[in-house]
Copies of this chain bind each other. A is one copy, B any other.
Amino acid sequence: MSDRYLSFVNSAWGRRLAQAIGLPQPLPLQRHRSGQAGLANPVIVAGAGRLVAPVQRLFSATDTVSATPATVKAPSTLKVQGAVFDASGMTDLPQLDALYEFFHANARRLAQHARVVVLGTAPEHCAGLPQAIVQRALEGLVRSLAKELRRAITVQLIYVAPGAEDALDSSLRFFLSRRSAYVSGQVVRLEPPVDGAVAVNWDKPFAGRRALVTGASRGIGLAIAQVLARDGAHVVCVDVPQAEASLQQAAASVGGSALPLDITAVDAAAQLQAHVSQHGAFDVVVHNAGITRDKTIAKMSETAWRSVLAVNLEAPLHLSTALLDSHGLNPGGRIVCVSSISGIAGNLGQSNYATSKAGVIGLVQGLAARAAARQVTVNAVAPGFIETQMTAHIPLMIREAGRRMNSLSQGGQPIDVAETIAWLAHPASGAVNGQVVRVCGQSLLGA
C-alpha cells in the first residue's frame, strides 16, 4: 500500500541520487480534496471548432488564456494549469499542423500536474475520408504527448458526437481537475445524452440519490462508497455475508446502509428487487466485487475458473439486466462495471480473470443501447496497478515493475478508481455510454 520509492525519490537526497544514476522520478500526484476549486486555472483554450463555445462557457473569463496567434507561436512564460485544444473542426490533413504549432509552443508552459484535453469528432461521425483520417490521427498525438510531457501532466482525447456539444461539462470537469490524476492517454466518446438535462449541484451531485456498490467493505469498493457518499449519495454497501462485520463498519462510515448478499446466489436478483421494493430504486449501481484465482491454465482448477467467471462476469450481467427490466434503476440511472487492464491486454496466469474482465467490456458495449432506451448509461473502468492489500502481496520485483511501467511511474490509489466511477455515475454524464476508461497512468500494458 505504501510506495517507499515515491517518497524516497522526492526527498532531497533521493532526487539527487535519481538524477545522478538516471532512475525514474515520479512526482507524487495531487488529488482532489473536498472544498477545493475543481477546475484547473488558468487554462489555454485553443483550436477552432464547434466546441470552443461550450468549453469557454465552463470557465469564467479570468480562468482562460486564449491562444491568439501570438501565444500559439511565441508563448509567454506564464505557466498554465491546463490546455484544451478543439480539433473537432479539422477536416483535412494539413490542418494537423496547427496541433504541432500549439503544442510545440506551449508544452513547456504547462505547469506540473497540468491537464490537457484534445477535443475531436470521432472518425465514425466524419463525412469525408481526410476528415476521418485527421480525427483518427489525434489518437497518436495524444498518446505520445501523454508519454512525453511527464511532470504528472495528463493528456486525453474526447471525441464529441454532433448533438453532444452541450453535454461536455461533467467530462471536462473531471479531466481538467485533480480527480483524474491517475487517468492519462485515454480516448473517450461522448454521444447525445441518453437522458434529459438536469439541474446539477456540482458540489453534491449525488444529493438525494441512491447508489449500490458491491464489494464495498474494503479496498477499492470502500473508496467508491466514500467518494459517492462525499458527493451526496446514500450508499447501499453490498458484500458477502461472511464479511458482514466489516461491511457494517464500512456502511456506517459513509452514512449508508449495509446489504449482505452473495451476488452469485441464485436468488441474488430477487433479493435486490425485494430491497428495491422496500427502499426504492437505485440511481447508481457499481459492480465492483471481483476476485482473482491466478494459475496458468494447465494448472488451474475448474473451481478457480468457474468462481472467477461467476463473480466477475455472470453476477454483473444478471443483476444489471434484472434491475433494468424490473425498473430497479431510475431514469437517469448509471451502471458502472469494473473491468481491468488484464481484460484488455490479457495476463500471464490470469486466463480466467482476463476472460471475465474482457467479458465485462462486452457487457458494457452490448448493454449500452438497451440501457439507453431506459435513460440509463452503462460504462466500465479498467484499473491498472492500484495500491491495495491485494497488490501489496505481489512479490517485490513484479510489484515494482507493475508500479513503474506507466507514464506516471507509480501505482494508482483506490480513490483514483473511485473518482473515475463518480464521473461516469454523475447525473450530468448521460453522454457517456458504452465506454471503457482505463485508470492506469497510461500503463504500458495496452494502448
The residues of A with any CB-CB pair to B shorter than 8 Å are 93, 96-97, 99-101, 103-104, 107-108, 123, 126, 129-130, 132-148, 185, 296-298, 300, 302, 305-306, 309, 313-314, 317, 321, 342-359, 361-363, 365-367, 370, 405, 444-447
Contact = CB atoms under 8 A, between A and B. Distances in A.
B133 A362 contact: yes
A113 to B, nearest CB: 18
Contacts of A355: 96, 99, 137-138, 140-141, 144
How many copies altogether?
2
Contacts of A142: 346
18 contacts: A93-B309, A93-B314, A96-B359, A104-B302, A123-B365, A129-B321, A137-B362, A138-B355, A140-B346, A140-B356, A143-B345, A143-B354, A144-B351, A144-B355, A145-B346, A147-B348, A148-B349, A148-B351
Given A147-B347, A365-B123, A93 B313 contact: yes
A244 B97 CA distance: 31
A300 B100 CA distance: 9
A354 B93 contact: no
A144 B343 CA distance: 9
B140 A359 contact: yes
A313 B444 CA distance: 25
A362 to B, nearest CB: 3
B97 A296 contact: no
A345 B147 CA distance: 9
A297 B147 contact: no
B100 A136 contact: no
Given A97-B305, A144-B346, 11 more contacts: A93-B309, A100-B302, A103-B298, A103-B351, A107-B296, A141-B354, A144-B297, A144-B354, A147-B348, A148-B348, A345-B446
Contact of A351 (B145, B370, B405): B145
A64 B194 CA distance: 51
Contacts of A145: 297, 346, 351
